[in-house]
Structure formats: C-alpha cells, structure tokens
Amino acid sequence: MASSKFNANIFLLQVSVIVLFALSSANAKGLSAKYYSKTCPSVEAIVKKTTTSFISRAPTLAAPLLRLHFHDCFVRGCDASILVNSTKHNQAEKSALPNQFLRGYQVVDAAKAALEKKCPGIVSCADILALVARDAVSAIKGPHWAVPLGRRDGRISKASEALNTLPTPFDNITTLKQEFRDKGLSVKDMVVLSGNTQQYPTIPYQIGGHTIGTGHCFTFTDRLYNFTGKGDTDPSMDPNYIAHLRKKCKPTDILPVAEMDPGSFKTFDSSYYTMVSKRRGLFESDAALLNNKETRAYVRLQASTHGSTFFRDFSKSMVKMGKIGVRTGKRGEIRKHCAAIN
C-alpha cells in the first residue's frame, strides 16, 4: 500500500514538472522583440541610455546587473521577483543569503522611473531587467543580442525559494547539470553561462559571467589551505595559482576579494576559459567544468580559439535563459515600482 502511494506521488511529481515546462514554453511564445513597438517604441533607447550612464561611471556594476537577471530567472522564472523588497510580513528573495550582496537595483529603478514618465504602466520590471543585463554586457565590450519582450511581473517573492534554488560556487558537475536541466537549459548553456555571473554572497555563481567580477576570499580559501580538512590544498587547482591567491587571501579572510578573471575582470571576454583550462578557476564550480567530457571540450575550444564562438553562444543562451518561466498575457502584473508588488 505504502509502495503504491509512493509511486503515485512520483507520478504526480513527474506530471507537475511536465506541465510546468509546457506552461513555460507556451508563455515564452508570447514574447517578441517588437512587443512595445506601438505602446512604448522608445523603451530600448531609454533603458540603454540609463544603463550606459551608470556603467560609464562604474564599470564594475556590469557583473552585478548580469547576476540580477540570472538570480531572478532561476527562482520562479524571469518575473522580477528578485527586485521586491521584504516587508513586515514577508522575507523576499532579496533577503536570501545568496542575494544579500547583489547590487545594481538603482539602475533598474532609474530605467523604470524614466519609462513611467514616457510610457506609464506599460513596461514590466522583468523586461527592464532583461534589457539592463544585455546593455550592461554590451557596455563593457560584450555581445549584443535581441531581447524578446512581453514578460509580466510576478506577485510572489520568497527568500526561502531563492535559498533552495540557486546554484552555488561549491556545486559539483553532476549537481550543476541537474540545476540547469531543471530550468530547461542544456549542458552547453551551463558552460556558456559559466564564465559570467554568480554570487555568494558577493561572488559570481556559475554562469558565463565569471569573465567579469571578483570573488570574496572566504568562498574559496578552503581550496588554498584546508580542502579536505587536513590542511591540504585542492589538487585540481594549479599550485602556482594557489601561491598567488595565498598572497591575497589568508585563511580567516572574509572581506578581501580576488579577480575571477585576472587582467580583464572589468571586460567581457573569453579569457575565463583560458584560466579554467589552466586549472586557475577560483571556485570549485569552475574546476568542475573540467570534470565532464562535454563541458571540458567547450572550455578547451574557447581557450584554444580565443573565444571564436563565445559571444554568439552566450547571446543564444542568454535569450534562452530569459524565457525561463515567464508570465505573459494576463498572468502577473505591471508593477508601478519594481521594489513593491502592486
């Protein structure tokens, strides 16, 4: 009897997953790069002007803005739930440990304010966040891609969901593959999005975004001083790189940071893959990319060809990620202020 109930529960879980992906796929079809062509034709120009204005003064904002979009999409889908402030009765995603040091909210808020003056009540915060992430990458010499628009903002934001859903810098390759697969992303998407954005609390998580940004010492010092609890180092890391990092990070350091992509951490490029191929990735999740045939092949391809296909691949994967669990049509809302549900 107990076995029958267990099998029934497994079946219901499988059906729920299938339905979720079916709904996500159907909703994504409602997106279009020309969605605001009649209702707010200047949307992209306004968001770009706002974003580039901030990035020109503070280039290091690019990585956090990219992370904001990633952290948003991986929890409840791309619905701007990461932007919601906590209230007396609810701890929002922003309060979860992996999100506590995210920054760049002021850029999204500024773009929203400008759009509310031009096109009040028309453009969602979720679409603004997707555009800001794209424009931030472009502003630091990264690729530019067409962003499908038409997302609606979600009405729910819970810290507990962010804590249990986001990948971490400590995940192994099996865990990472499953986490990305659960979102409808392929192994290739995972390794492409692995050079550039994750944060725990201020370090990039696993997403092609590790080519920009810095990582706090406490997130990788175990690899330098006490990998297995016996005062040893991580054998998967280049010993010379370990010696270099030890000069920056002592065993008890918390606040000091190290560049994730030394020499070009403010520029979006493919050098991250060269670092990983040389066993010089900061995090265990970086090293994990060499532990799988498919991800290892991609890392070596980009390292040997100076990123011959990286920009194109990254653009495609970002569009794909930007469609995770989107709300379109009458689902969700258009927030008046991105930090608060209407």
Q: State the catalytic residues.
A: 71
Write out the two tokens for 91.
């701890």
Q: Give one DSSP letter per residue of 25-44, joined into a string.
A: HHHHTT-BTTTTTTT-TTHH
* Burial grade of 244 (CB within 10 A; 0-12, 13-18, 19 or more): middle
How far, in Å, CA of 252 to CA of 262, rounded? 22
How far, in Å, CA of 173 to CA of 285, rounded? 7
Which residues lie closer than 8 Å to 211 by C-beta, 6 or more apart? 195, 196, 260, 261, 264, 265, 267, 268, 269, 270, 271, 272
CB atoms within 10 A of CB 240: 11
CB atoms within 10 A of CB 232: 13
Which residue, among 191, 190, 186, 214, has the nearest Cα to 202 in the 3D structure?
214
- In this structure, is the dihedral angle defined by the CA atoms of residues 118, 119, 125 and 131, taken in order, positive or negative? negative
CB atoms within 10 A of CB 241: 18
Write out the two tokens for 333.
């809302």
189 is in an annotated binding site: no
210 is in an annotated binding site: yes
44 is in an annotated binding site: no
- Is-contact 177 292, C-beta < 8 A? yes
Q: What share of the chain is helix, strand, coil (3-state, %, to 5)?
A: 50, 5, 45
332 is in an annotated binding site: no
269 is in an annotated binding site: yes
What b/e sequence results for 280-294 when a residue is b if at least 16 CB atoms lie within 10 Å of its CB, and e otherwise? bbbbbbbbbbbebee
**Enclosing H/E stretch for 116:** helix 105-118
Describe the crossing of helices 310-321 and 62-73 by its angle, rounded to 10 degrees. 40
72 is in an annotated binding site: yes
Write out the two tokens for 6.
């267990």
Residues in binding site for Ca(2+): 72, 75, 77, 79, 81, 93, 211, 261, 269
Residues in binding site: 72, 75, 77, 79, 81, 93, 167, 210-211, 261, 269
Residues in binding site for substrate: 167
